[in-house]
A and B are shown apart, each in its own frame.
Chain A
Amino acid sequence: MAHLESMRYRKQPGGNAGHDEATVISGMSSVAAGTPTTLDSDDAYGADGAAGLNSDLGYSYEKKDLDFSTSSTLAPFAAGDRQHQRFCISRNQWITLGFIVLAAAYVRLWRLSNPAQVVFDEVHFGKFAGKYLNGTYFFDVHPPLAKMMFAAAGRLAGYDGVFDFKSIGLDYIAANVPYIGMRLMPALLGLSMVPITYVTLAALGHAADACALGALLVCFENALLTQSRLILLDASLIFFTGLTVMFWALFFTESHRPFGNRWWGYLMLTGVNLGNALSCKWVGLFLIATVGVWTVKDLWEKLGDLSISPGQYVRHFVARAVALIVVPVVVYLFWFQVHFSVLHKSGDGNAFMSPEFQNTLDGVNLGHTPRDVYFGSRVRIRHDATNAGYLHSHLSNYETGSKQQQVTLYGFRDDNNYWVLTRTEADEEAHQNSTNPHELQQIKDGDTVRLLHWRTHRRLHSHNERPPVTTNDYQNEVSGYGWEGFNGDSNDHWRVQILEGDSSIPDSKKKLMAIHSKFRLIHVNQRCALFSNRKKLPKWGHEQVEVSCMKSAKFPKTLWRVESNINENIPAKAPLAEYRRPSLIEKVLEATAVMWRVNNGLTKSHPYESRPHTWPWMRRGMAFWGSDNRSIYLLGTPIIWWLSFVAVIIFAGVQVVMFFRDRRGFHDRLLGARERYMESVGFSSVGWVLHWVPFFLMGRQLFLHHYLPALWLAILALVGSLDLFTRRLSRKVRQVIMFALLLATVRMYFQYSHIAYGSPWTRQGCERSKWLKSWDYDCFRFPELGATTPVAPGLKPNVPEVPMPTAGAPDIGGEPVAIVRNKNGEAQHVPPPAQNFDPLEHENKLNEPAPEIHQDHLNSNSAKLDLEMKKKATTVEPGSSDTAVATNEEHE
């Protein structure tokens, strides 16, 4: 605090600031960027002249150091008379950039057609593109934009949406899929990262040679390259991340002309691309955080800038709030609107959504149903919280507990979902004796009902037995009990408790109404509520969802709704009920909530998953595809990964050291580059941290490619640091350093290009390239040098034969598998058949139709089951069979 204090006092305008103070000011205030915005700071810099800085530059380069950099790049950051020059890139620079892009185009687009097979997650995203073309609703854990871009690319290329991308290694040529066109889209996005990097670095105030170096590093980075040549989402995400950062950097070059056209343009473009990045993958949230942190920093410094009036300040604030909050949200909503309107047909994603949502799709007609539910109505009852389906029973029994008939949740409509709501024995008798026994009687809140399974004549029943999967002692099994003609017992009694109604229909909270009323069914004897928690029954339960009766249950998962309501006695003109149509916002919120839940549920292990702490040093890559003697394996260019990590760590270290040295009164200038270091490398490093650290909090499975946006930011930090700290060196030394880095990168690009492009390689070359033991691409796949004829390279896709393993390799059918070998090259412990990564497998299983139950087969059982039940009922007096069990347990 005392520190801040001293700052503030020294900042009083008009003070005869000495060198020390000037640096303090620039270290803390808005002048930090070397983008002088206030008179104040100009004064400070003027005073700085005393310290031997007669040049017109914000930091103390000597003139000769700048010779090699085009001065115009630095102009916006230079103080003095050039400070108001607009940021621009010189003609020479454009020409250089043109050449770099040409080189990059060759590097990025070469052999795009190889392999002509489904690679890695093309399984998903190719398939999803097809769904867009067909218009059938599907569900995925990622927002829609990138997938829609693939759909658009597929449409342009002539993909008809028929091919299903079912598994890795399927052939494209045979299926006549225009996959090259689809891969061209991410490849072009990946390619445009090269100029984006160039412009970003220039806008961040770096010299022309550094910008070129950065662009070339990105061009030759193998992981970015591999990831952007396939039908995968990350290329789009990285592209929009890059665009956002670029416009954000450009925005700051306009900071001395606030509210000008360009200022607004760059700000708005930042916001739009933030929204786009977020609409590709939720990783875009980290980008929002990055920009947010920097906005707060900037606004805080502006707050201290007394030349900005309060009115102007409010404008600054509002402009950013609109551009960086409202605009991204609107963009996100817009893409979802497109998504929903393209996917207007019912499809396999239905089951994830609420009935209200499903009702908006073509081909789903949950229709109308009579609104009022009466005793004697035949109903379908839907579990409200989970979308897991309808209360269901069928002719097979539990294998545990009471061994009575199963009661489950089932996601699809069939006759086994029908239950008849009847009165209790006593009520029925009273009703029969009443004046008007044929009058329809509506079910009210608090009524006790029995639910008779329409097909099998069992009654919904519960007793003091543990359910098969959830074995907590406060949960009871729910079963179907009874047979035709059996009068039932008191364990069939359920009280209806209506908890929520439709606010527009006031009575729906008092009387049971189809669709509108959300109610619980309370077991009268056991005082438990009918409950389900998406737990699946074992095989004998046809893997349907368990239903239990829970004591002291909280509300949401005990709520049910009547969906279909059939009663012959209902007059034709009786009021109907139907599902409300949700608005766009409601639909997006629902989709987002489901995405969130499913995303967090992706905890299954995958052979190539990795935790974030292994990413920066690239402990291990990921196998994408393999066939014959070629494979694609995601592996970065080591020197870039490692050095960029080092650059960020050095930045953090320097900041910590300077923090303490400032405290001791040493105000280091870092060769005059301190402000620029903070504004450029600082921004990249903060972005890197925010794109990396949050992954530690995620429990879901993570992959190396999640690091790629952070990697790009780290590359910016690397090049930025290199630029700033070699400026004081002689021009020659600086160039030698930059060329050395570039040469090493290109060398490694060639070394690892085999697994990036999936081109032939030799075993020796492969073995030599394994710098870390944990890089587990399979070298035995490749022929030994000179021993075999290599597969002819070329653009002509290689029609795969029956996979021919290299010596000793197991038949792995072209799928990526982790193979451990001993020294002799024999495979050890071959893992079970590799599973393709399917993020939704679990969820899909939960939602997919349960296996058909052959009624006939089961009906042959039914006589036997009936007999067993009757036997039990006769040995123990009917009606007391369960209470007998209960008392026994109590005595224990």
Chain B
Amino acid sequence: MSLFEQSEAGGRPNRSTKKVAGDSKPGSPPPPKYSEKESLFTSDNLDDNDSDMPVRREKAPKSTAVPRQSNEWQLNQYWVHIAVLTLFSAITRFYKIGFSNRVIFDEAHHMGFGGKYVNHTFYHDVHPPLAKMLIGLSEALTGFDGSFDFKSGSRFPANVNYTFMRLFNASFGVTLAPMAYATMASLGCSPNAALLAGLLVCFDNALCTISRFALLDAMLLCFTAMSVLSLSGLYKYRNQPFSIAWFKWLLATGVSLGLVASAKWVGFLAVGLVGLYTLYELYDIFGQKEVSLISHLWHWTTRVVALVAIPVAIYMLCFVVHFNLLYKSGPGDAEMDSLFQAGLQGSGLQNQPLDVAYGSKITLKSAHPGAGLLHSHTDAYPDGSKQQQITGYSHKDTNNDWIVKKIHGQSFGNTTETIEFVRNGDIVRLVHERTTRNLHSHSVAGHVSKRDWEVSGYGLDGTYPDANDHWRVEVVEELSRNNPERRLRTLATRFRLRHVNQNCVLRATGKSLPQWAWRQAEMVCDRRNHLDENTLWNVENHVNPLLPPAKSDQLRSSFLRNFVRLNLAMARSNNALTPDKDKFDALSSSPQDWPVMRLGMRMCGWEDGEVKFWLIGNPVVWLVSTLAVVLGPIQMLYYVVRRQRGLCDFARQNEWETHLYVSGILWGGWALHYLPFYAMGRVTYQHHYFPALYFAAMYLAYLVEWSGRRIAGAVNSPSTRAAMLALGLAAIANFLYFAPFTFGFDYAAEDLASRKWFSSWNIYDAAK
């Protein structure tokens, strides 16, 4: 602290000389003056690195004598503070962590998904795999045998060491407070402000509660904090580009961005923050005439490699591991295409003949994700042609089986020796095996999509020959090798079926038929030739006793294909999580509820005797930080307006610029992690605000310090210190007061009625 005051005092009288010095700026950034450790608290914001140099040198004899010692002391202080914060965090995160022996909240999902990695069964979820793989790792470490299915609210059996799983997860949460401290230090704040930020993060009930269960959020928060910590390191060394420390932080930023994006897609907001910061920095460098062209290129290349290539590589690596771990067929199969499924153990798609021949029994899978298999059943259309219905059906049954036959008037005689395969361009007839109806289309309007033609089942095999039963096979994509004859192949060929007479293509519309067709997917013959994905088909099951089974290596889909497909499926599932806006949902909340703490959330059943957790923030942290993120920009506007009027508030150029940079990172981080939720159509929950809160807490501490310095004219004036102390103590007190919500309570919720500060909080049922 003394150092601050000194450099402040030292800086002032030299203002005029500095200005002159600033105009004759040295051509290149100076070499790093201090070692990394020394500069921990020699905040850049107060030392105008470029222009202050001459001044500093001049002052050197005076200012080194005392601060040398205090630097060492400060270093110690830094690590002491970190240690204290880590200890507090560990206590709050680990205390009574195994109190409830039930599956709490989304542990049902995430521990369950972790279990899938133990069992190696393929599942589908909206989140990227990294965090769930880590949960899976924690389960594997306990020796979990995969037998428990983590049903919501159920009790853990004795052989499941849920305490360790939670401890593993909570340890990610422990890192949050020390990282907040380190971030603030890197951003050039005083130890007091950094400590305050650490305390606010450490003693926030919500951040603490969410870390104590095996959920994805602790990891997401940890990786987000890592990203912003690395970013603050980059910021700190921005005037010494290409130094060792700078490279270290750049690399760390890239790695943590990769991790955060692989934990949850919300992590891309952190990527956005770093991206915007980087663009701004590059723009800044762009204006420095003394930087050479080579140097510019170097600036760009290093950033592209570190901040784009590395995160992408990590993200994809996570999926590589994901696919390799999940090699058995499981509940998520249906989200992937047939070829991928064929690669899974136990999917029943292996050992099929490869080339489809006339007479083969096949099922046809639509590339439309929701349409399933081409299906027919004995029900007829109620209007239109009133012929037999053709639908898409996801469930596997024998009504999905079709026989490939030659067109009316032609026959085939297949034996094992002379077998005739179906090739690209062949005109075929598809006969529904159970009902012997032909796949048929005609110029009758569809039932839901009225602009297209109806597809129906017609005729009894060859009994009523009709040219409208003829379809041409048009191969679009071939995923297997060595297919010179362009044969139709199981799983690996993607093709269209074009109606010969009407020149329309069989297409899944993505709409459901009414109740009379059991709400199955609609199939039409698309006459406008929308040649999109929905017109593509592949053979999924193939039975032909005359043909040998395929070699397994012929049915493999590439990693990139699977990767893209899975990510698209995740996006689709994510978008499908749309709430019914007329329905009241006690768990979900909307973005405008979060900063004002309108709602808390019950994380489990609310019976009196059970251990209950109520997810609520620490009002001191949440409400005051909300105040800060609202007042901060207003304060900023005030100074901007004054500057435009030509009023000079800042003795040093750099002070204002530093303020913009730091506010940009912290406030910008909050805004980027909060405002996009307004634009999201999907259902939102309170815990979506936590990354934003992490930024808000740090911004609050920063703003208190900065405003204190503006008002009192010195760093750490007594009043600022008092304010910080009061804030910190209030946060701790409030944390302890709300501790039952965080650590769990097994008595009746009414006993905590005094803590119901807002009428919208559902701590207990008023009706009861």
Contact = CB atoms under 8 A, between A and B. Distances in A.
Interface of A: 1-3, 5, 8, 11-12, 300, 303-304, 306, 400, 472, 474, 531, 533, 550, 552-554, 557, 660, 663-665, 829, 831-832
A553 B583 CA distance: 4
A466 B705 CA distance: 60
Interface string B277-318: 000000110110100000000000000000000000000000
A742 to B, nearest CB: 42
B583 A5 contact: no
Contacts of B660: 1
Contacts of B27: none
Contact of A306 (B283, B289, B645, B656): B645
A656 to B, nearest CB: 12
Given A553-B582, A665-B287, A832-B450, 15 more contacts: A1-B284, A2-B287, A2-B657, A3-B287, A8-B643, A12-B646, A303-B645, A304-B645, A306-B645, A306-B646, A552-B583, A557-B582, A663-B286, A664-B287, A664-B289
B58 interface: no
Interface in B621-663: 641, 643-646, 653, 656-657, 660
Interface residues of B, number: 25
B527 interface: yes
B515 interface: yes
Contact of A2 (B284, B582, B583): B284
Nearest to B285: A663
Given A533-B582, A550-B582, A300 B287 contact: no
Given A5-B657, A8-B646, A11-B646, A665 B289 contact: yes
Please indicate which of the listed interface residues B451, B582, B585, B653 has the most CB atoms of chain A within 10 Å of its own CB.
B582
B644 A304 contact: yes
Instruction: Rank and list the top 6 A-B pairs by shortest CB-CB distance, nearest first.
Output: A663-B287, A552-B584, A303-B644, A304-B644, A554-B584, A1-B657
20 contacts: A1-B660, A2-B287, A5-B653, A8-B646, A12-B646, A303-B645, A306-B645, A550-B583, A552-B583, A553-B582, A553-B583, A553-B584, A554-B581, A554-B582, A554-B584, A663-B286, A664-B289, A665-B287, A665-B289, A829-B527
A660 B289 CA distance: 12
A400 B515 contact: yes
A472 B579 CA distance: 12
Contacts of A300: 644
A274 to B, nearest CB: 26
B553 interface: no
Contacts of B451: 831-832
B585 A303 contact: no
A465 to B, nearest CB: 13
B580 interface: yes
A658 to B, nearest CB: 14
A303 B645 CA distance: 6
Please indicate which of the listed interface residues A1, A531, A557 has the most CB atoms of chain B within 10 Å of its own CB.
A1
B366 to A, nearest CB: 23
A552 B450 CA distance: 36
Interface string B661-700: 0000000000000000000000000000000000000000
Contacts of A306: 645-646
A508 B657 CA distance: 60
Nearest to B450: A832
Nearest to A470: B580
A634 to B, nearest CB: 23
A3 B285 CA distance: 11
Contact residues of A: prevailing secondary structure? loop
A12 B287 CA distance: 22
A304 B646 CA distance: 7
Contacts of A5: 653, 656-657
A663 B283 contact: yes
Nearest to A551: B583
A306 to B, nearest CB: 6
B228 to A, nearest CB: 21
A304 B645 CA distance: 5
A660 B286 contact: yes
Contact of B580 (A8, A472, A664, A829): A472
A757 B450 CA distance: 35
B220 to A, nearest CB: 29
Contacts of B641: 303
A3 B283 CA distance: 10
B585 A552 contact: yes
Contacts of B656: 1, 5
A8 B656 CA distance: 13
Contacts of B289: 664-665
A5 B284 CA distance: 12
B659 to A, nearest CB: 10
A303 B653 CA distance: 21
A825 to B, nearest CB: 19
Nearest to B642: A303
A485 B740 CA distance: 58
Please indicate which of the listed interface residues A400, A531, A553, A829 has the most CB atoms of chain B within 10 Å of its own CB.
A829
A446 to B, nearest CB: 12
A8 B653 CA distance: 11
A306 B515 CA distance: 74
B582 A531 contact: yes
Contacts of B653: 5
A665 B286 CA distance: 10
A775 B725 CA distance: 72
A303 B660 CA distance: 21
B662 to A, nearest CB: 12
Nearest to B641: A303
A831 B445 CA distance: 11
Interface string B553-581: 00000000000000000000000000011
Contact of B286 (A12, A304, A664): A664
Contacts of B580: 472
A634 B102 CA distance: 68
A300 B641 CA distance: 9
Contacts of B287: 2-3, 663-665
Contacts of B445: 832
Please indicate which of the listed interface residues B585, B641, B644, B656 has the most CB atoms of chain A within 10 Å of its own CB.
B644
Interface in B568-613: 580-585
A531 B584 CA distance: 13
Contacts of A2: 284, 287, 657
A832 B451 CA distance: 8
Please indicate which of the listed interface residues B451, B641, B646 has the most CB atoms of chain A within 10 Å of its own CB.
B646
Contacts of A829: 527
Contacts of A8: 643, 646
A474 B287 CA distance: 61
A12 B445 CA distance: 76
Contacts of B582: 531, 533, 550, 553-554, 557
A474 B646 contact: no
Contacts of A3: 287
A439 to B, nearest CB: 31
Contacts of A304: 644-646
Nearest to B584: A552
Nearest to A310: B645
Nearest to A556: B582
B646 A554 contact: no
A474 B646 CA distance: 63
Contacts of B286: 660, 663-664
A8 B643 CA distance: 8
Contact of B583 (A11, A554, A660, A664): A554
A554 B582 CA distance: 5
Contacts of A474: 583
A829 B504 CA distance: 11
Interface in B512-531: 515, 527
A857 B604 CA distance: 56
Nearest to B527: A829
A722 B283 CA distance: 32
A660 B284 CA distance: 11
B398 to A, nearest CB: 24
